[in-house]
Amino acid sequence: MLATFPQEIQADSENLTITWKDGFTSNFNLLDLRKKCPCAVCCGGHGGKIGAATGHITSIQLISWRKVGRYALNFTWSDNHDTGIYSYDNLRAYSGGKSELPT
Ligand SMILES: [Zn+2]
């Protein structure tokens, strides 16, 4: 589990950078990350497709973030959205080139 635990998390106006315990660094575009929000609202309800309700968003700011337990991050976005739980595994998978969250 060493690989999927963040050592350092930094955010600026456009990007989120996570440095993992194993030294790997992941860079995420905030807008891209917002559109990948895995919560039910953004997925268009149960069984919906990720991104179904976020396609109209063209700009976003990250207001704050917090750790959820030992496995995930929760972001508060400038569109007052804060229900997405992004697991470390998924975040790490994004940066490995996978484009969609496993369900
Ligand atoms: Zn969402």
pLDDT at 64: 95
Q: Which residue, 13, 26, 8, is CA-closest to 89?
A: 26
Distance 58 CA to ligand 1 centre (A): 15
List, in sequence order, the alpha helices (H) in 1-103: 30-35, 88-95
Distance 39 CA to ligand 1 centre (A): 4
User: Into how many domains does the chain fold?
Assistant: 1
pLDDT at 97: 45
Residue 100 in any domain: the answer is: no
Q: Which domain range does residue 57 map to?
A: 2-95
Residue 67 in any domain: the answer is: yes
Distance 40 CA to ligand 1 centre (A): 6
Distance 82 CA to ligand 1 centre (A): 7
Residue 96: pLDDT over 70: no
Residue 27 in any domain: the answer is: yes
pLDDT (average), residues 3-20: 93
pLDDT, one tens digit per residue, over 19-33 is 999 999 999 999 999
Residue 18 in any domain: the answer is: yes
What confidence tier does 1 reach under pLDDT thresholds 50, 70, 90? low
Distance 50 CA to ligand 1 centre (A): 9
pLDDT at 56: 85
Residue 77 in any domain: the answer is: yes
pLDDT, one tens digit per residue, over 40-89 is 888 776 665 656 678 889 999 999 999 999 999 999 999 999 999 999 99
What CATH code is carried by the domain that includes residue 67?
3.30.2020.30
Residue 101 in any domain: the answer is: no
